[in-house]
Copies of this chain bind each other. A is one copy, B any other.
Amino acid sequence: MADYQAPLRDIRFVLNEVFDTPALWASLPKLAENVDPDTADAILEEAGKITSGVIAPLNREGDEQGCKWNDGEVTTPEGFKEAYQTIVEGGWNGLGGNPDFGGMGMPKTLVAQFEEMLQASNMAFGLAPMLTAGACLALDAHGSEELKAKYLPNMYSGVWSGAMDLTEPHAGTDLGIIRTKADPNDDGSYNVTGTKIFITWGEHDMAENIIHLVLAKLPDAPKGPKGISLFLVPKFLVNEDGSLGERNSLACGSIEKKMGIKGSATCVMNFDGAKGWLVGEPNKGLAAMFTMMNYERLGVGIQGMGAAEASLQSAREYALERLQSRAPTGIQEPEKAADPLIVHPDVRRMLLTMKGYIEGGRAFSTYVAQWLDISKYADDEERRVHAEQMVALLTPVAKAFLTDRGLDVCVIGQQVFGGHGFIREWGQEQLVRDVRITQIYEGTNGIQALDLMGRKVVLNQGRFFELFAEDVAEFIETNQSDAAVRPYLEPLAAALERLADVTEYVIKAAAENPNEVGAASVDYLDLFGLTALAYMWARIVKAAAPKAEGDTSGFYSGKLKTARFYYNRMLPKTVSLAEGIRSGSDAMMDLTADEF
């Protein structure tokens, strides 16, 4: 099993060559205060060191040992506590956080790269900083100044961690029917009572306090999603002077036995009149949650690709070293008993498919992160709104497409190993088990697809989609004279047109029949993702081509050849997806329950 090595060369290529991210940062005055290219590069370097050197080595053992529950306490696998201290010492939780409360104020374009390395090195562990950063985001965006001052600094530092408490046994996707309630006290606080499940890192021994952000209903709340409020409920109450007070009445009832991410604790959390404080407006808890969702959902997409990158690293090494059978064109290494796997076309197909998704996916998540940075930091409102709409459109694609492909890639990376891929010691099977959750949590991929198709496309009659289409079209237009990129522009334009046609088709069909949205959604998201990655690969070609000639490392020419493979073998899937969508919803809806 290859040890994970942070792919800094590839990350720098995307940040500085495919995109000119430093120029973007410089164009956003509020960001320019916090970040410059040298600082950013030093952060990448350090992130590479701790993820490859400190966190990755705990990944296998974390899976073997798992978290242990005993009478409400959760013990983490060996080494996790120490690794978490490394996170605290580096202030990594607060990398993108608000500098007014101790965050570092780094752009999402940079934070996204750290997230990839963190999640690739050890997904179970990486969820702790990820959830904390997510909780900070929600608190920073919606909490009162008092709450922020009291909680954010210790959360950014990581001395306290964060958890998001949404799901209940009967309410997952459908948060409108949650039962957890919050009764007001005279002092402005609330007593929160109810049971939450699937709470990632809801309890553990790595931080001094755990700050839960809990969805609950006020006594007079309206039914459904418009009657949900968000509460901050700490494990230990915090005194006026910031020191820890008494234990709050909440407890971890048990942790789940699950398929993967076993090093993390997935908790049942029981709130028994636990003291909490309202975050944001009453009954607007779901909206508050959703402001951080765009950040988190992109982060989950990146998780999918992180696991995929780890799988690729091992598979590539194995394909170069494992000797098995002879090349179809004749013996390549006569002095050995067999040729290395890499001589076989189908093994190359597997590695190239992995690369096509991972490297295209890395560019895509950085592209989405750019829009997030603009939406957060641009002075110009028009520019900000434009970016917000792009973010709204692209976020479900990033979450679902990159995690669906994350599973695909990890399964391929396991297949490269043959029987050894099924055995635990090689690590490839753990990546499959771990990455599988990314398709499920933070809104299942089916829900992402409904969000994309329904709210982000049909609801605004394709207006957001037009913004994306214009961006791609502009790239096609301005690069007609680039000889390296030109061969890709026609198939890219065709893919864009196919996507646009299907978009128009679904908008029309949905006006007649609301079931058309759900009938098209998952295939539409795939079609969108494949097209978006084709756009990314064209941009990669543009960046790599001028440098390929003098380069003997194979780095740039490898990019050009992977682009070709992507267009030849992977992009054609869009044709079938479009055809399937156009067959409409009748074939799905026209069955009684008995007929299933």
Q: Which residues does A use to contact B, with CB under 8 Å?
A: 167, 170-174, 177, 197-198, 256-260, 316, 319-320, 323-325, 328-329, 337-338, 342, 344-352, 355, 407, 411, 414-415, 418-425, 429, 432-433, 436-437, 439-441, 444-446, 449-450, 514-515, 517-519, 521-523, 553-555, 557-558, 561, 564-565, 568-570, 572-577, 579-580, 583-585, 587-596
CA distance A446 to B345 in the complex (A): 10
Cβ–Cβ contact A569 & B595, under 8 A: no
| Interface contacts beyond A329-B514, A418-B440, A419-B440: sample of 20 additional A-B pairs, CB < 8 Å, sorted by A | A174-B324, A174-B325, A177-B338, A257-B425, A259-B424, A259-B433, A328-B518, A342-B596, A345-B589, A346-B518, A346-B521, A348-B591, A355-B596, A432-B436, A554-B594, A555-B594, A558-B595, A561-B595, A573-B573, A574-B576
Cβ–Cβ contact A415 & B440, under 8 A: yes
- Please pick, from B177, B355, B423, B594, the residue contacting A256 in the complex, using a CB distance under 8 A: B423
- Please pick, from B342, B346, B352, the residue contacting A522 in the complex, using a CB distance under 8 A: B346
Specify which chain B residues have a CB less than 8 angstroms from the CB of A570 in the assembled complex. Answer: 580
CA distance A177 to B570 in the complex (A): 35
- Please pick, from B328, B515, B593, the residue contacting A517 in the complex, using a CB distance under 8 A: B328
**What's the least CB distance linking A115 to chain B, in Å?**
21
| Chain B, Cβ-Cβ closest to A449 | B346
Specify which chain B residues have a CB less than 8 angstroms from the CB of A433 in the assembled complex. Answer: 259, 433
Cβ–Cβ contact A580 & B554, under 8 A: no
- Please pick, from B323, B515, B553, the residue contacting A594 in the complex, using a CB distance under 8 A: B553
**What's the least CB distance linking A346 to chain B, in Å?**
5
Cβ–Cβ contact A258 & B583, under 8 A: no
**What's the least CB distance linking A566 to chain B, in Å?**
9
- Please pick, from B172, B440, B580, B587, the residue contacting A572 in the complex, using a CB distance under 8 A: B580
Cβ–Cβ contact A514 & B594, under 8 A: no
* Interface pairs (15), CB distance under 8 Å: A259-B422, A259-B423, A259-B432, A259-B433, A346-B446, A346-B522, A348-B589, A348-B596, A349-B518, A351-B596, A352-B596, A355-B596, A419-B440, A558-B591, A572-B583
